[in-house]
Structure 1
Amino acid sequence: MSDHVTIPTAAGKFDALEAGPPSEHGVLLLHGFPESGLQWQRQLGALAQAGYHAIAPDQRGYSPGVRPETVTEYRMEKLIGDVLAVADRVGWDRFDLVGHDWGSAVAWSVAGAVPERVSTLSALSIPHPEAFGQALAHDPDQQRRSAYMRLFRSEDAERTLLDEDAARIRELFEDRVPAEHVTAYLERMRAPGALTAALNWYRAVRHSGAVGRITVPTLYVWSTEDSAVGARAAEATADYVAGEYRFEVLDGVSHWMAEEAPERVNELLLSHIGGHRR
């Protein structure tokens, strides 16, 4: 079981789910678009049972208490700052970091910027940003998979995504995500300003800098039916990790692996994090 908590920071109050006993072994889990900390429900339970203190915040724009209107307030520098502010608030000098989708992009960036704070990195779906960028520039398959980003950055994105009872958002989940989770995500996205805030992550991406080579112990998990990420970027990620690296492929699983294949994801996370328990 997880508890709903509020984590105050200088940027505002983050909503979060929290599980596990107070512990020096903290795990921070970062969600992606268009989800929330709820996507980690099954992982929070597994981590708590293993003795970890796990927190899954609703990130900037998803938490009503941290929802700035300006696009530049969603640049990666701000997202990294949020992660560190949450960790500081709960008293974690070092922590294990897990991300999925946009949460993975943030996690890669945190590990690159402040490796001294990150005990282990676990990234689901989204590869190292520079591997992804190279694939996006040169790989027609990745260009096709990422074509949706043009819509997400457009002025019509909000209207298009919410039309017809948010049919375009529902389609993203491919019937791979529990229905009650989809309902919760859509309720959040319909709140005033929420979808615009979530889309501002895409609109602000041009403000992101280089991540560099990762030196912390890293687990990267890609799935063969991920509609957003092709094999080229996934396989090239190894070139951007200088530290210990583990690459795992989930066959027949979609982009939404934490909810679609929670047992396998939990097994991988516990093995990786537990193998470097300090």
Structure 2
Amino acid sequence: MIQTRLIPLPHGITLSCRMAGEPGRPVLMFLHGFPEAAFVWDDLLAHFAKPENGGYYCIAPNLRGFEQSSAPPDAAAYRAKHLVQDISALIAQTCTAHKGQLASLVAHDWGGAVAWSLAATMPQLMNKLVIINSPHPGTFLRELQHSPAQQAASAYMNFLIRPDAEALLAEDDFRRLWQFLTNTGEQQAAGTTPAWLTEDVKNQYRAVWGMGLTGGCNLYRASPLRPPRPGPPHNDPAAAAVTLPPEMLTVLLPTLVLWALNDFALPPALLDGLEAYVPKMQLQRVAGASHWIVHEQPDLVASAIQGFLGQT
């Protein structure tokens, strides 16, 4: 059974969390991306809470700015260091029976950006890391700086930082946001909706999006990891002006990277050289799946995570 709880953190942020399982058991934490919310993990929360699947205490927070979590108005409040602070504080509060350490952190999309940073800078907070289609900052920066293909694939980011982005996204029953979820090639070409995106699921998205879209857009406004916008009126170097120190990039934890190969925004070139940053990585490439692999192939995702968690 999925429960919802508002958890206040010591630094004044409250996170709305979805939970399953018995408190005191080893903790799995799941971080969502944009334009999603914590509810997208419900099936995995229920799966891993079952005794036969590990009996974990499963927690999926809504990131700041999403659903009922705190939503500071200033875009600067969505910088990576603040998101990392939120999740590290949540781990401290929910892993008291396990010396403040997760069994594993599982993350997708923007949640993965937080997870990569947390694993690099505070590895003591987790035993393992699972990343699902979320680029490592080192390879992402390289591709944004040098790959025209990645710059084109990420061009949507510069739409999301527009001051009117929220209003445009909300138009026509969130038409542009549905396009994010149906841009999987096959469905887009056929003009069809993916089978997983049922009317009930759509209503879950509508409920979350109706609470506000500024937090999600502020994630992009706060990050320089996006394509440059040269020349007037912007003169915005974005990723071209970024350098990242090695201590922010090296992840020494056992890490499973599950990567759907039909991700139009995140091409497989982002995997090139990843082992230099993540020496204990297991990489599983999945053909025929898109960025939304968690929805498209939930059994495969659950099985891959289950196998990884079972390794010593």
TM-score bucket (shorter structure): over 0.9
Residues in 2 aligned to 1:40 and 1:150: alpha-carbon distance in whole angstroms: 28
Letter matched to residue 240 of structure 1: Y
Secondary structure at the counterpart of residue 256 of structure 2: strand
Are 2:67 and 2:208, in contact at CA under 8 Å, matched by a contact in 1?
no
Letter matched to residue 222 of structure 2: A
Residues in 1 aligned to 2:172 and 2:220: alpha-carbon distance in whole angstroms: 23
Higher relative contact order (CA 8 A, sep 6+): 1
- Please give the residue correspondences for 1:99-248 in structure 2 after superposition, counting only pairs within 5 Å: 99-174=107-182, 175-176=193-194, 177-179=196-198, 180-191=200-211, 194-206=212-224, 210=245, 211-242=248-279, 244-248=280-284
Distance 1:43 1:140, change over 3 A: same
Secondary structure at the counterpart of residue 69 of structure 1: coil
Secondary structure at the counterpart of residue 119 of structure 1: coil
The Cα offsets for residues 13-58 of structure 1, whole Å up to 9 and x where unpaired, read as 2111111122441111000001111111121122111211110011
The Cα offsets for residues 109-146 of structure 1, whole Å up to 9 and x where unpaired, read as 10001011111010100121111111111122211211
Match of 2:231 in 1: none
How high is the sequence identity, in percent, across the aligned residues?
A: 31
Are 2:65 and 2:216, in contact at CA under 8 Å, matched by a contact in 1?
yes
Higher-Rg structure is: 2
Which of 263, 266, 286 is 1:250 aligned to?
286
Letter matched to residue 195 of structure 1: L
Aligned length: 273
Richer in strand (by share): 1
TM-score, length basis structure 2: 0.83
The Cα offsets for residues 207-260 of structure 1, whole Å up to 9 and x where unpaired, read as 996522100000111111112100111233222113x21001111111011111
Residues in 2 aligned to 1:246 and 1:71: alpha-carbon distance in whole angstroms: 35
Letter matched to residue 219 of structure 2: W
RMSD: 1.7
Secondary structure at the counterpart of residue 225 of structure 1: coil
TM-score, length basis structure 1: 0.93
Residues in 2 aligned to 1:156 and 1:171: alpha-carbon distance in whole angstroms: 18
Secondary structure at the counterpart of residue 213 of structure 2: helix
Are 1:105 and 1:128, in contact at CA under 8 Å, matched by a contact in 2?
yes
